[in-house]
């Protein structure tokens, strides 16, 4: 399944966290799949089926929502960590999708018994709350499920193992939520018996994969295995550090990898930030470099910017280096992967935002509140385009001068090296920098 090795000579030791450095959809699926070639374990640590991670291999396209993006590599063990919220329907569909491609998860998937379950009432609530709140959620029940988790009333994967207790918990959970639906939303009640039957059946199907992933992953780390922690969403959607309240309900930032997997911070040896060569955002919330004009439309068209989970058109804009520098700071990014560089191939000029101002005054720090962020005026630097197709198999030195200049500007501003360039959706469409080849042999 792995095919030819693209990352010849590149080894990832210990624990590398791979995160989205913007508002999600940066190309995490593609990059994690690529890195997974060298990993023993790939572990998702937060979010749920709100994620849509795309991997393109030849003429096949896989969109993963819950299963880690290392699943195409037979030798790699995939872990769904305790920080993830699991929708049985989405997981079952995903397993079936993979099986239809001849990919078996047998022996290759481990699900944390501490992960919380998404219930049908979470999905319904997500949609009902959205009517007033207008965050533009994916409607996958993510927020309401995390609410129950932090309210200490959630149902976890481990609860599936005790059928009697599960039935009691389900009945109580559904009873409470039905009361809410009736009183607060005047919405129809959910069918208790149907849901109980569905979850008991789900238990039968995933029983073999449920395990203590915290112990598994710690033992893997201590025995020197290479582990990739796969983030979903992006740093600017982080519940604490993102553009609150227009965020998701978990911690996509690198710190989330520790709590979401049960790995100590001392285990983490490197953090890869994935950034698109421009910016996109799905759903509501401030987006300083958004282009609501022909150029934005051009980016959407060339980049096929439509959500992998909901199909919604993504909002598009220029690369925001001020936001990316903030992202690098809160995540501790030590290398960048710049994806979708090919989308800019035919642009005459490319802008990058290098600062914000409000009422003519420069903004010093990335604003902590969305109302302020919505007011900023982005300050741009204009760089020349390169007008050619970028080819894999070349070194960074062989890139057109203008492309090199674009990368240098990013590196200088963000203070992190760009080590990989995405030049197409396919697995092989990547340019690996010389530095990655040399230094990743010992990157921890």
- In the complex with Mg ion, the residue whose CB is nearer, 65 or 123, is 65
* Shortest spacing between CB 359 and ligand IMO, in angstroms: 28
Residue 116 contacts residue 249 (beta carbons within 8 Å): no
Q: Pick out residues in 341-370 that bind ligand GDP (CB under 6 A).
A: 342-343
* Shortest spacing between CB 53 and ligand IMO, in angstroms: 6
Residue 400 contacts residue 388 (beta carbons within 8 Å): yes
Q: In the set 67, 258, 282, 407, which binds ligand IMO (CB under 6 A)?
A: 282
Both structure tokens of 369: 């509140």
Instruction: Dihedral sign for Cα 224, 225, 226, 230, please.
Output: negative
- In the complex with ligand GDP, the residue whose CB is nearer, 68 or 108, is 68
Q: Pick out residues in 46-75 that bind Mg ion (CB under 5 A).
A: 52
Part in contact with ligand GDP (CB under 6 A); list of ranges 25-33, 123-131, 208-216, 262-270: 25-33
Chain centroid, CA 7 distance in Å: 22
CB atoms closer than 10 angstroms to residue 412: 9
Residue 331 contacts residue 253 (beta carbons within 8 Å): yes
- In the complex with ligand IMO, the residue whose CB is nearer, 142 or 443, is 142
Note the helical H segments in 37-162.
Answer: 88-100, 120-133, 142-150
Active site (annotated) includes residue 132: no
Does position 308 interact with Mg ion (CB under 5 A)? The reply is yes
Q: Pick out residues in 368-427 that bind ligand GDP (CB under 6 A).
A: 422-425
Distance CA 213, CA 219 (A): 10
| Contact characters 33-52, ligand IMO, x per CB under 6 A | -----------------xxx
Task: Look at residue 273 and give its three-state secondary structure.
Answer: strand
CB atoms closer than 10 angstroms to residue 55: 25
38 binds, options ligand IMO, Mg ion, ligand GDP, none, Cβ within 5 to 8 A by partner type:
none
* Shortest spacing between CB 299 and ligand GDP, in angstroms: 11
Distance CA 55, CA 426 (A): 7
The residue assigned the tokens 């609530």 is 125
342 binds, options Mg ion, ligand GDP, ligand IMO, none, Cβ within 5 to 8 A by partner type:
ligand GDP
**Residue partners of 326: CB distance under 8 A and separation at least 6:** 365, 366
Q: In the set 25, 33, 126, 238, which binds Mg ion (CB under 5 A)?
A: 25
Q: Pick out residues in 301-320 that bind ligand IMO (CB under 6 A).
A: 308
- In the complex with Mg ion, the residue whose CB is nearer, 55 or 267, is 55
Residue 14 contacts residue 438 (beta carbons within 8 Å): no
Part in contact with ligand IMO (CB under 6 A); list of ranges 134-142, 336-344, 361-369, 428-436: 134-142
Distance CA 84, CA 146 (A): 9
Distance CA 109, CA 399 (A): 40
| C-alpha torsion 244→246→251→254, nearest 10 | -80
Q: Strand 227-230 and strand 15-20: pairing?
A: parallel
Host H or E run for residue 422: strand 418-422
Active site (annotated) includes residue 65: no
- In the complex with Mg ion, the residue whose CB is nearer, 315 or 351, is 315
* Shortest spacing between CB 142 and ligand IMO, in angstroms: 4
| Closest chain position to ligand GDP (CB) | 422
Residues that bind ligand GDP (CB under 6 A): 20, 24-30, 52-54, 56, 308, 339-340, 342-343, 422-425
Which sequence positions are flagged as catalytic?
Answer: 25, 53
Residues that bind ligand IMO (CB under 6 A): 20, 24-25, 50-53, 135-138, 140, 142-143, 232-234, 237, 248-249, 282-283, 308
């Amino acid at each position: 399944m792995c095919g030819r090795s693209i990352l010849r000579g590149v080894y990832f030791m210990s624990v590398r966290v791979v995160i989205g450095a913007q508002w999600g959809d940066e190309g995490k699926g593609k990059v994690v799949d690529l890195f997974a070639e060298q990993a023993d374990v790939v572990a998702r640590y937060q979010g749920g089926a709100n994620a849509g991670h795309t991997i393109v291999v030849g003429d096949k396209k896989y969109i993963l929502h819950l299963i880690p993006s290392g699943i195409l590599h037979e030798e790699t063990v995939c872990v769904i960590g305790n920080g993830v919220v699991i929708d049985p329907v989405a997981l079952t569909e995903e397993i079936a999708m993979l099986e239809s491609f001849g990919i078996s998860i047998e022996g290759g998937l481990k699900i944390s018994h501490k992960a919380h379950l998404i219930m049908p009432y979470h999905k319904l609530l997500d949609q009902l709350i959205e009517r007033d709140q207008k965050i533009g959620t994916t409607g996958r029940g993510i927020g309401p499920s995390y609410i129950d988790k932090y309210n200490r009333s959630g149902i976890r994967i481990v609860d599936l193992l005790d059928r009697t207790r599960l039935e009691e918990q389900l009945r109580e959970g559904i009873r409470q939520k039905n009361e809410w639906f009736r009183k607060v939303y005047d919405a129809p009640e959910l069918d208790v018996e149907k849901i109980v039957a569905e979850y008991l059946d789900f238990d039968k199907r995933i029983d073999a994969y449920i395990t203590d992933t915290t112990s598994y992953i710690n033992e893997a780390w201590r025995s020197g295995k290479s582990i990739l922690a796969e983030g979903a969403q992006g740093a600017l959607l982080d519940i604490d550090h993102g553009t609150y309240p227009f965020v998701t309900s978990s911690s996509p930032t690198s710190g989330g990898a520790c709590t979401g997997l049960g790995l100590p911070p001392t285990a983490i040896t490197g953090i890869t930030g994935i950034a698109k060569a421009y910016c996109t955002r799905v759903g509501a919330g401030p987006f300083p470099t958004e282009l609501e004009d022909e150029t934005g439309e051009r980016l959407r068209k060339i980049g096929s910017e439509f959500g992998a989970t909901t199909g919604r058109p993504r909002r598009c804009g220029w690369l925001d280096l001020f936001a990316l520098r903030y992202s690098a700071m809160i995540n501790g990014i030590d290398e960048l992967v710049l994806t979708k560089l090919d989308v800019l191939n035919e642009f005459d000029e490319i802008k990058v935002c290098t600062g914000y101002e409000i009422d003519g005054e420069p903004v010093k720090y990335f604003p902590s509140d969305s109302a302020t962020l919505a007011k900023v005026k982005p300050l741009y630097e204009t760089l020349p385009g390169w007008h050619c197709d970028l080819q894999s198999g070349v070194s960074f030195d062989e890139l057109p001068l203008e492309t090199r200049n674009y990368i240098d500007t990013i590196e200088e501003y963000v203070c992190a090296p760009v080590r990989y360039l995405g030049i197409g959706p396919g697995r092989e469409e990547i340019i690996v920098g010389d530095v990655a080849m040399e230094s990743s042999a010992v990157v921890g």
